[in-house]
Structures are given as structure tokens and as C-alpha cells.
Amino acid sequence: MKIKATIEKVPGGMMVLPLLLGATIHTLAPKSAESLGGITGAVMTGTPVLLFVFFFAIGVNINLKASGKIAAKGINILIGKILLAAILGIGLNQILPENQMMTGVLSGLSVLAVIAAFNAANGGLYAALMSSLPDRDVDVAAYPFFSIQSGPFFTMITLGIAGIGSFPWQALVSTLVPFVLGWLLGTLDPEIREMFSPVSGALIPFFAFSIGFSMDFHMIINSGLTGILVGLGVVLISGFILSTTDKLILKSDGVAGWAASSTAGAAVSVPPLIAEMDKTFAPVATSATAIVATSVIVTAILTPVMTMWAYKRRYGEITK
């Protein structure tokens, strides 16, 4: 049976389908984790542990010995995404009532949802798009340099600087531990890097299911339209900004900027993790998670379209 291939036909399928499965079970049987107990019940509610291993595996792939051109490409995307998310989040904080729209077309929209959706690019999608184009080895190799966006660290920093959230220093350090530990071990021993490199992808459906189990379909439906609009904004706004900085600062063609104009699947984990560290975000965490999940789907569809448009506009048809 081609189960994996079938799942991957759905945009962001490895993230989205397990999340929807978890939400379905929680909607129909909200106390199933308690009833089952044991290791199965623990996995259904064990998002933090799964994410620690996931972020460790991402850290393993960071190679600071890479060439300057590769590092510059990745850091341009990293800084561009972070600054854009910060500017939008700080701006929205000035106009949103209690940091969240409660009614209307943008029901559920919150500062947390916007920062989480804009902050991190889908690295797997980026690498796949760049690999499908000719002479893109430098672009593909840049992915590990902006992969650290996937965690909650930069979202916490943005919220803290803007005065929107308050996080103890221990919480900030805690979010970096798996990345740093993975980076150190991967740098010291290439065999460890080789061992753990595939792990991050394998863990996605497990933590996606666990996150989904914290949601229900009522919230997903209510936040659907808002998530679609946020997803469109992520692609069009961040794609334009990243493409422009790629051209102006790196003297490149801007295609990599469009390929990074997406929301990472792991960003779905950010709202619940933030809410755990600062309880003032608890009322908006569920709707923010649903919005980010929708943005993952929208950007997984639209980012490839815009990337290929940008490439063909510059070079014509793809010949590889």
C-alpha cells in the first residue's frame, strides 16, 4: 500500500492529516487519553517531549562550517522572516482588542497567530522547490541556517520585546537547549549528525497528532477563513520582502525568497508552547493553532506556484 505517497498528495499532509485525526478523536472522545492511559495516552498529550526530540534533530543539521555564501543565504531568510513577523505582531498589538478578534470575518485573529505563522518557513518545502530547479546547490544547503525558526524561541523574544508577553529567562533557555545540544553533538561527531538527520521528518506526524488532540473541529471551522487570509498574507508579503532582500543584499535572483514564503508545519506547535510558558496566551492558543495549521496548508499550495512564477519570469521554462 502506498500510504505515505497518498498522505503526501495532500499539501502539508504529514502535518495536517495527523493533526486533523487528533482533533477528530478529541471532538468525538475528549477523555480518550485519560481512558487509555499508559504510553498511548501519554503520546496523545505529550507534545513537549516529542518536540524536544524534533528540535534536537533540527539542531544536528546546523553546520556553522558551511561556506559564507550558504550562510548568508540562510541568515537572510532567518532575519527577514523574524523581523517581518515582529513588525506585524507589534503593529497588530496596537489595534487588536485584547490581542484577538472575537467576531467578524477575522474572528480568532491574534498577535500570537500572526507571529507564529510568519516567523518560520517550511524547510522541507523550500528544499524540495530549490532542488527541482537547476544550479541551486547553495540555496538548498542554506536551509539549516534558518531551521531554528521552527521553535518558539524567536516568537517569545518578539512578544517579550514588544511588551506583549512575559517569559522568565529559564523558559527562553529551555527553548534553545534541544537546538544547541543537537548542534554541538552534530558538530563534534558527524556520525551523530548522520544518525539523527532523518529523525525530524519522522516525528512530524506524532507531534502533529498530539497537537491536534488539544483542539476540536468547532475551533478549526471558526478559524478557517482567518487562517486562509493569514496564509495568503504569509506568501505574498513575506515572499515579496524575502525576494527583495535576496536581490538587494545578496545580489541573487530572489527565487529563494519566494521558496521561503511559507509557514512551517512545526509552527503549529508554537501557540500551545507559548501558552504553557505565559498563561495570558491560553485564551487565544487554540484559535491561533487552528489559524497556523490552515496557513500551513494554504502556503504549501501557493508557495510553489509563486516560486515557479518567479523563476519562469526570470529565466523562462525550467530545463534540468
Region 249-259 average pLDDT: 90
CB 97 within 8 A of CB 84: no
Reported confidence tier of residue 276, pLDDT bands at 50, 70, 90:
confident
Q: 268, 230, 299, 261: which is closest to 152 by C-alpha? A: 268
Query: Are 310 and 304 spatial neighbours (Cβ–Cβ below 8 Å)?
Result: no
Mean pLDDT score of the chain: 80
CA dist 13 and 17 (Å) reads 5
Query: Of the segments 52-61, 188-197, 230-239, 310-319, which one has the largest average pLDDT value?
Result: 230-239
Degrees, nearest 5: CA angle 13-17-20: 145
Tell me the DSSP string of the chain: --HHHHHHTSTTHHHHHHHHHHHHHHHH-TTHHHHH-HHHHHHHT-HHHHHHHHHHHHHHT--TTS-HHHHHHHHHHHHHHHHHHHHHHHHHHTTSGGGB--SSTTTT-BHHHHHHHHH---HHHHHHHHHTSTT-HHHHHTHHHHGGGGSSHHHHHHHHHTTS----HHHHHHHHHHHHHHHHHHHH-HHHHHHHTTHHHHHHHHHHHHHHTT--HHHHHHTHHHHHHHHHHIIIIIHHHHHHHHHHTT-S-SHHHHHT-S--GGGGGHHHHHHHH-GGGHHHHHHHHHHHHHHHHHHHHHHHHHHHHHHHHHH-S---
Cell of 49: 517531549
- For the cut 90, the answer to whether the pLDDT of residue 75 exceeds it is no
Q: Who wins on pLDDT, 96 or 114?
A: 114
pLDDT of residue 243: 94
Residues 6+ apart with CB under 8 A from 109: 92, 96, 100, 101, 226, 230, 291
pLDDT per position as a tens digit, 123-155: 777 877 887 788 777 777 777 777 777 677 778
Cβ atoms of 296 and 20 closer than 8 Å: no
Nine-digit cell string for 165: 508577553
Residues 6+ apart with CB under 8 A from 248: none
110 pairs with which residues across the strands? Answer: 100
Q: Is the Cβ–Cβ distance between 70 and 141 less than 8 Å? A: yes
Among 92-101, 129-138, 211-220, 286-295, where is mean pLDDT lowest?
92-101
Considering the chain, what percentage of its residues have pLDDT values greater than 90? 10
pLDDT at 38: 83
Q: In this model, does residue 208 exceed pLDDT 80?
A: no
